[in-house]
Amino acid sequence: MMTAGAPEGPLVSERPLYPWAIPLRARLRAEPGDFRVDEIAATEPEGEGEHVWLRVRKTGLNTETVAEWLAGVAGVARPAVGYAGRKDRHAVTTQWFSVQLPGRAEPDWSADPPAGIEVLTSCRHGRKLKTGHLAGNAFHLRLREVRGDRSAADTLLQRMRQGGLPDYFGEQRFGHANLERARAWFAGRSRPRSRNQRSLYLSAARAAIFNAVLRRRVEDGSWDRLLPGDVANLDGSGSIFPVTAVDETLRGRCERLDLHPTGPLWGQGDTGTGGAVRALEAAVANILGDLSGGLERAQMKPARRPLRMRPRRLAWSWESEETLVLEIELGPGEYATGVVGGIALIDASG
């Protein structure tokens, strides 16, 4: 049962905590093709308009690098290029970009692309592609050098497919050192050099607070159930509502994964929670005061995110005794590394 008061112990430096024993060890990303991501578009380009939408396959590069290359080829400022979401660097990924070219012909995107970038298709559309405008992502992951209890892993994957798992922000959200740079910025020791860096640092700070809250709720067993004072999320949507009391109807909907408890994306203003939930979140934010204070000074608007994710699709197969292949489809903002982390400890070398 959750109780009010400050959590104790490390909050950010530990691995994400799961409510079960992890049965495997493995390597991930032994080569880029072991981590493949395909963006699922929310909108297909219509064929006309001042924006050119391009589907790009990238290997070993981050999304911002591709956006900057597209701007350079088109001869436009970087803000004229849009994308729906950042994709993993150490992977093979496909995603949509948009480039604003009103009244101008397209350049030859294939003339001299750098290694790791392939423009697959392009088509005109009337609007810029904005962050968050995607239906989800499909992942094809290969875990190599797997050791451990295969039977337990199969059982656990079935459990996650049916009952969901903690929705931690993945390692990608923190980048190489975004959290450390956010702290340096908030402390006045440095400043972001671009709008993109500012966004990355703010996102990392919010993710750290969210993950810390989620870890505490995994510890006390409330990550997958509603408590009085929670803010509930309607599965598969951005709809949320406060929970003042938990009756049998709400309890049943949460058990069926129709509703999920949420955690904070910290900012300036009220979180919408109450009771012990509010006390725990405030205590975590106080312990991580350098991050929460920096977010408030940056005037970030508070928001909520589900504590639990339910994969839209989760399938797996054993290619060999030591190779496990996962096929996962997730909604926007959900991380396949969270599914992987729920079944395997990943060796640092992979």
Q: Are 40 and 138 in contact (CB under 8 A)?
A: yes
Q: Are 228 and 202 in contact (CB under 8 A)?
A: no
What b/e readout covers 211-249, taking b as 16+ CB neighbours within 10 angstroms?
bbbbbbbbeeebbbbbbebbbbbebeeeebeebeebeee
User: Residue 155 and residue 107: Cα distance in Å, rounded?
Assistant: 52
For residue 88, indicate whether it is catalytic. yes
Which neighbouring-strand residues pair with 119? 56
Q: Which of 34, 88, 230, 235 is catalytic?
A: 88
Tokens 């509703």 sit at which residue? 259
User: Residue 36 and residue 152: Cα distance in Å, rounded?
Assistant: 25
| 3 state DSSP class of 189 | coil
Which neighbouring-strand residues pair with 303? 265
Q: Is 136 left (phi over 0), alpha (psi -120 to 50) or beta?
A: left
The packing angle between helices 289-297 and 178-186, to 10°, is 70
> Which active-site residues does the annotation give?
88
